[in-house]
Structure formats: C-alpha cells, structure tokens
Amino acid sequence: MKEYTPLALLPLDDPKLGEKTSGYVVQRQAKGLQVASINRELQVLRRLLHLAVEWGFVDQAPKIRMLTGEQHREFVLTPEEEAKYPTVAREPLASVATLLADTGMRPEECYRLRWEYLTWLNGRYGALFS
C-alpha cells in the first residue's frame, strides 16, 4: 500500500481516503491479484484506521468496503495426512502441528502456551489448562 502514492501520501483523516482506496483496488486488480488477496490488504488498512481511532489520531475511521466474489477454501486433513506430516516436517513445526491436530487448538492459542499450564497429575498423558 505504501507504494501506491495517491493513498500513501494521504493523512489518515482525509475525506478522500475511500475514493483513493478504490483506485488502489483497481491498480491491484490490474496486476492480477485475486479478490481474497486484495481483501486481506484492505483488512490491514481497516485495522490500521481503527487503531488510529483507538489511539486518538483521528476521530473516526472511514468505511473500507471489501470486494465481493471471494472464494473461500476449506481443507480437511485426513488421518493419513496427519500421520505422515510429522515424519516429513522439521522441528518445531512437526511438534506444533501434532499439538494442533491432537488438541484442536488454534495456532495463536498454541503460541501462548506456557509450561505452567501443563500438569502431569492426571496420569500418563497429563492435562492442559489455559
């Protein structure tokens, strides 16, 4: 986004921000980006603007509209793929993937884990508390 000068040089409270965002979208589409990729970029801009409001830099965030037509993909890991993954992945990725698959945790939950959340008092396999 910072390379798109018409948008990058605008102050956060400029009323033309929405209009310049449209130009940015057109430019990204012309470069062949998929709708999902452009929407992720727009989400970053939305977050930036909402933080600017939260931190008192601007009074309100302009509306940034997402593009329609995004294709959502859903992938379900088969038990065979799950069993194969730790044998080909390097550490610590293999251990993290095993933990995610076995516990159903989201990655951000896994990354916040601390040793004091584990107990081995419940038997051989232990227990996890958050």
DSSP string for 3-39 = T-HHHHTS-TT-TTHHHHHHHHHHHHHHTT--HHHHH
What is the pTM for the complete model shown?
0.57
Q: What is the pLDDT of residue 122?
A: 75
Q: Is the Cβ–Cβ distance between 7 and 1 less than 8 Å? A: yes
pLDDT digits (tens, 9 = 90+) for 95-129: 999 989 988 899 999 999 998 888 888 777 788 87
In the chain the first and final C-alpha atoms are separated, in Å, by 38
